[in-house]
Structures are given as structure tokens and as C-alpha cells.
Amino acid sequence: RIREEILALAAHSEPHRPNAARDDELEQLLQLSDDAFAIHDLVNDRNIAYSGLKNIAPADQSAFTITDAFEMIYEGDRESVLKKNEAVFARDPRAFDSLTEEFGTFSERVRVRKRDGSIAHCVMRGAAVFDGDRLVKMYNTLTDVTSEQELNWKLRSEEMLFESESDRRAAEDACAELVAHADCAAAWVTQSGNAESRPLLAAAGEHERFITETQSVACVDSLADRVIAAANESSPSGDVSTANGGNGRNRDAGQPGVAPCEHAPGAYVTAVSEPAVGYLAAAPIRRDGVSYGVLTVFRENSLTETFERLLDSLATSLAFRHEVEIQRRALRADSQVTVDVRLGTDHVLGAVSAQES
């Protein structure tokens, strides 16, 4: 009985009040961070999550299960994350950065859909606790690195701008970047043309089917028309000149199903089902009222805010690069050539030449 009374007194004693206060302070501190923390107790079926300032985690922290976590992951990353998770549960050494008999750590870059619907680029880190081959507990963190990702893309865009040997090479590099690192199955750049054609400047990925198949060509052309029409509308004169001296077309400017990109000024996106299910997006390559062409991409997954900014950044860089190339060609052509012609006396103009000399 004396022992029970001592334990009861200890439970209500002063020393424990500061601990409760420190828990509150910890919660406030976590709310100021860019990280989300989660604990998954697989033995007792207990899940706890703390969201950081970016509000990545769901509002109901107590229901933050591993299944809930998968629902947050951007559709383009779910398959790879699912395979990673299965490998962690199976204690596959290839899934871990480090692994001991009872403890393993892993990491991966993922995109997650935040509470407000936007997409965040994150680094996911985890620690797994094992009892033999059985996973008993998992600790996870998500760190929002969206700003870092956008900065890296901007730097690569600038490298293409200043280091490429020609505007064509810059366009090729931009298309390759979109296919290799931005979930695009195809990317291509068309130059400003006349009323009937837009010559292909550069391409990467599976672009042929979008520029050769009749139905796809009609859709791509219609999207490009809408982009150029928007450029016309944004010009004070209602018209935008093209690099070859022509004017942009305005056919089917009101194409249904085409929507403006919120974070890429002048760019438009439309959902397609042929030749593949996904999204076509196009951005104008334009600078100072002059249109040099259109940058078009196809993605199976919906566009994210970060991707729209990347698309706008690449199109802007290509426009600047085109302008630099035109100025470079003009400088090369700006030279005088002096030719000394000597005519013999038997030539019909020989007498005139002799008089002038």
C-alpha cells in the first residue's frame, strides 16, 4: 500500500509538469521546421505523425498509417516507393543505405501531395528496427527540398544558355533534360514558321508519334496555335512577330480542353488519350515580343507546380539563346570585303578602268 501511494504521488508531482511543457515546446518547434516526422509501431499498430511548417502530413495525426503515407505520394513516384517499401519489409540489403542485425537506414527522393494540393519535392529518410527478420518499428522523416530542386533546374538551364555552342544544341539539351529528369516521355522544339508549317529544331524521347500520326499532329498543332494565340493577345498590338518575319497563327484559339498553366506564363496544357494517355503541354519561346518557336512536352503524369516553373525557365532560356545566336550571326555578317579588279586593255571596260586609275 505504501508503494502504491508513493507511485500515485509521483504521478502528480511537480517534476512531471515541466516535462509536459517541454512536450508542448517540442510540438511548437516541429511546426517551425520544414520536416514531417512519423513513427510506425507495427507490433502495437500505433502510428504517430508530426507535421512541419509545410503541412505535409495529414491533419489527423493519429491515423497516419503507412497506407496514408502512400496516398500522399505523387502518382509518378508510387510504384518506385512501393517497391522500396516492400524491399525494406523483406529486409533486402539493396534497399538500405546501412544495415545491421537489428537496425537499418534508408533514403529516397520522392514527391508528395501536400494538404493544400500542391506537390513538394522531398527527401525521405527512414530507420527500420527488426526483431530477427521481422520489421517491428519504422521511423520516417520527409524534408521539403522543393526550393533546392527548382534552384538546381534553374542552374542547369543557365548552363545550357551560356555553354551551348548553338541555339540548336541548347534546344537539344533542353529536350534531353526534360526527358531524363522531368518525367517527360517526349519533348520537342519547333521553330516559328509560316502559316502551314513549324520546322522541327530538336527533340528527345518518343516524339515521332506526336509529330507524324495524323490525329496527334492535329492535337499538337492546335495546342501550339493556342500558345501563339495567347502570345498575340498579350502583345500590345495584338500581334507577335516571329523570328522569320511572319506572324503567329490563330487557328482554333478557343480549343476546348486546353487550360493555361498557372505557373508558366503563356503555356497551356491539355489531356490526351492518343497515341498515349497523358498530358501535352506547350510553352512559347518568346522574348521582347518576338516569337522564336514552341517547346512542347508529353507527360503521363499531371503537371506539378515545380514542373511548370521548369518549363517556363527552359523556354525563357531558349528564347534568350535564340536572340544571342541571331546577334552573333549578325556580327559575323557585319564585315566589308574589298575586291581589286584589274581589267586588260582589250576588255570593253579596260579604257574606263585606265582613265579612272
Give the tens place of pLDDT for each residue, 25-47. 666 666 666 677 778 888 888 87
Confidence of residue 214 (pLDDT cuts 50, 70, 90): low
Cβ pair 293, 198 in contact under 8 A: yes
Cβ pair 271, 279 in contact under 8 A: yes
Q: Under DSSP, is residue 247 helix (H, G, I), strand (E, B) or coil?
A: strand
Whole-angstrom Cα distance, residue 188 to residue 209?
12
pLDDT of 253 reads 40
Q: What percent of the chain has pLDDT over 70?
A: 68
Of the candidates 123, 153, 127, the one whose C-alpha atom is nearest the C-alpha of residue 54 is 123
Predicted confidence (pLDDT) at residue 252 exceeds the cutoff of 70 = no
Over residues 184-197, the mean pLDDT reads 79
Mean of per-residue pLDDT scores for the chain: 75
Over residues 45-71, the mean pLDDT reads 65
List the grid coordinates of 233.
493577345
Tell me how far the alpha carbon of residue 331 is from its chain's centroid: 36
List the grid coordinates of 184.
517527360
Of the candidates 191, 251, 186, the one whose C-alpha atom is nearest the C-alpha of residue 212 is 186
Burial class (CB in 10 A: 0-12, 13-18, 19+), 322: buried
Predicted confidence (pLDDT) at residue 332 exceeds the cutoff of 90 = no
pLDDT of 238 reads 43
pLDDT of 242 reads 46
Q: What percent of the chain has pLDDT over 90?
A: 14
CB atoms within 10 A of CB 291: 27
Tell me the residue type at 300. Answer: E
pTM: 0.65
pLDDT 10s digits, 306-331: 888 889 888 888 888 888 787 777 77
Q: Under DSSP, is residue 31 helix (H, G, I), strand (E, B) or coil?
A: helix
Predicted confidence (pLDDT) at residue 62 exceeds the cutoff of 60 = no
